Amino acid sequence: MAATAPVSPVADAQVAPPARGRPANPWRRAWQQFRRSRLGYWSLIVFVVLFVLSLGAEVLSNDRPLVVHYNGQTYFPLLKTYPETVFGGDFETETDYLDPYIRHQFSMDGNWAIYPPNPYGSQTINYFASEPNPSAPGRENLLGTDDRGRDLLAQLIYGFRISILFALALTTVGVLLGIVTGAIQGFFGGKTDLAFQRFIEVWSAMPELYLLIIFSAILSPSLGLLLALLSLFGWMGLSDYVRAEFLRNRKLDYVKSARAMGVPNRQIIWRHILPNSMVPVVTFLPFRMSGAILALTSLDFLGLGVPPGTPSLGELLSQGKNNVDAWWISLSTFGVLVLTLLLLTFMGDALRDALDPRRVDP
If binding is defined by CB under 8 A, does position 2 make contact with other proteins? yes
**Closest separation between CB of residue 276 and other proteins, Å?**
6
Sign of CA dihedral 318, 322, 328, 334: positive
Residue of 45, 214, 252, 338 that binds other proteins (CB under 8 A): 252
Q: How many CA atoms lie within 13 A of 8 on its CB side?
A: 6
Task: Please state, in angstroms and rounded to a whole number, the distance separating the CA atoms of residues 337 and 14.
Answer: 53
**Closest separation between CB of residue 188 and other proteins, Å?**
12
Residues that bind other proteins (rule: CB under 8 A) add up to a total of 38
| CA nearest to 61, candidates 49, 53, 51, 69 | 53
**Closest separation between CB of residue 7 and other proteins, Å?**
7
**Closest separation between CB of residue 33 and other proteins, Å?**
14
Query: Coil, helix or strand for 215?
Result: helix
- Alpha carbon 181 to chain centroid distance? 23
Q: Specify which residues 125 forms β-bridges with.
A: 150
Site string for other proteins, 263-292 (x = CB under 8 A): xxx-----xx--xx----------------
**Closest separation between CB of residue 193 and other proteins, Å?**
15
Question: Which of residues 100 and 262 has its CB atom nearest to other proteins in the complex?
Answer: 262
Task: Please state, in angstroms and rounded to a whole number, the distance separating the CA atoms of residues 46 and 342.
Answer: 11
Task: Please state, in angstroms and rounded to a whole number, the distance separating the CA atoms of residues 78 and 147.
Answer: 27
Q: Which amino acid is at 154?
A: A
Site string for other proteins, 182-201 (x = CB under 8 A): --------------------
Residue numbers 6-45 binding other proteins by CB under 8 A: 7, 9-14, 16-17, 19, 22-27
Strand 67-70 and strand 73-75: pairing? Answer: antiparallel
Residue of 203, 254, 270, 327 that binds other proteins (CB under 8 A): 254
Question: Which of residues 16 and 202 has its CB atom nearest to other proteins in the complex?
Answer: 16
List all residues 6 or more positions away from 280 whose beta carbon is below 8 Å from its beta carbon: 238, 241, 242, 245
Binding site for other proteins (CB under 8 A): 1-2, 4-5, 7, 9-14, 16-17, 19, 22-27, 252-254, 256-265, 271-272, 275-276, 362
